[in-house]
Structure 1
């Protein structure tokens, strides 16, 4: 089974639980990402997504300037070993109903992140290759 090493993003935008929420949002904006992994001693402790900001702050009328990442991050972050198989990650995503899963090394430290979008890109590449194989085996279309 292919491992996630082929698609894991090793550069992860992260912050501490004490990071002001406004700074978390600025990180998302500056880095053009939809999530920030919240780490404590290099270990993932939570995740703040753009959806969390929209629901927990904007929709509820919360004052973002008085909140920290710990106030809105998920209580329990799902992680996966960096040498896990692709189907293992998809299973974790489906079971936990999440679109982002931090990858950890053998010590439990943050080693990367895998997102649903990474799988969409991977699938697109695989389908393109499949299409090329099929096209090579069929006669050309006669467009009259």
Structure 2
């Protein structure tokens, strides 16, 4: 379940926050995204890619541009009870690399990145490979 692997270090910003301030906050917290909240309720998400593609590449000044101008409104989410493959499918279908994870009340409990999922799957694959190798060696010894 996602609740076991989700990054709970959620950074949130208001829609009227300047892009330059968001970028500094994301650097300080070492994250690639922030949840955009309106009165404490999540209303969107902004990523480092949003800043580059929708602000900088459009020759907008990060000091004049605000979050609301470049954020993704109503982002696709995963539920903390969802499985890893459900989340991967949602990410693939939505063409996103980061996704808010929500609870039963729709409150954001964390953020999950494609890198987080890849790390978990890599670990599981390594464990499976190790188990397969041990099984093969045991079968060879028994023969």
**How many equivalent residue pairs?**
138
1:134 and 1:87 mapped to 2: Cα distance? 22
1:15-60 C-alpha deviation (Å, 9 max, x unpaired): 1111111110001111111111112233321111111111122211
1:14 and 1:74 mapped to 2: Cα distance? 14
SS of 1:124 mapped into structure 2: helix
Structure 2: give runs of 5+ residues left out of the alignment. 138-143
Structure 1: give runs of 5+ residues left out of the alignment. 140-144
Conserved? CA contact 2:44–2:73, under 8 Å: yes
2:35 and 2:18 mapped to 1: Cα distance? 14
Residue 25 of structure 1 pairs with residue 17 of structure 2:
no
Relative to the length of structure 1, the TM-score reads 0.87
- Deviant stretches of 4+, over 4 Å: none
Conserved? CA contact 2:15–2:67, under 8 Å: yes
Give the equivalent residue in structure 2 for 1:62.
60
1:120 and 1:82 mapped to 2: Cα distance? 17
